[in-house]
Amino acid sequence: VSNAGVGMAGPLECQSLAAMQSLMDTNFFGLVRLVKEVLPDMKRRRGGHIVVISSIMGLQGIVFNDVYAASKFAVEGFCESLVVQALRFNVAISLVEPGPVMTEFEAKLYEEAKRADYSRTDPETADIFTNLYLRNSKDVFTSLGQTPEDIAEHTLRVIEAARPPFRHQTNVAYTPMAALKHADPSGALMTDAFYKLVFKYDAVLRLSLR
């Protein structure tokens, strides 16, 4: 089970390349290093199961989570490319894709975001992040967040499955979000829906979450 991960949220201009590279080293290359260690032996004995804790953000990018989403997209692409070869050797690969999970990981991330220096971005972007994104994110976690124990139960079901799924989403509330991309290959439907949700109907979003 690959579960190492760090987060990053905020305006892109305020994030250093070194911090981005460090995040990718944990979230993506940490998985790659693990798979390189365990896969050869699994292939030799023609059996095994690699379970990767990914994220719904590996399927759909979310505003102000650019680099974190990129790391999870990398995880998804890596596993999607590898799974066919692995199956030839009777090795299963499963991606567990949670939405928000209520842990110290998230609490620490948002506390750091509140204290961060936003002088390297424009005032409008800083205002959108602090007064729209952070405020709405707290409501999202309160309303839709899962406990670590819930994610563990989902992961256990994936591990024990007779025919392990390649993808397993843990939160049905996020199924429509991922479905928007498949409904319109041009991306216009998804982009328009998220733009309106963030910038036009944010008050409705907060009210519905509460």
> Rounded to an integer, what distance in angstroms lies between the CA atom of residue 79 and that of residue 32?
10
Domain 12-121+146-172, CATH number (from 3.40.50.720, 3.30.70.920, 3.40.50.1970, 3.40.50.10160)? 3.40.50.720
Hey, where are the domains in the chain? 12-121+146-172
Mean pLDDT of the chain: 90
* pLDDT at residue 210, as a whole number: 59
Residue 22 has pLDDT above 90, yes or no: yes
- Residues acting as catalytic residues: 68
Confidence class for position 205, pLDDT limits 50, 70, 90:
low
pLDDT band at 206 (very low <50, low <70, confident <90, very high): low
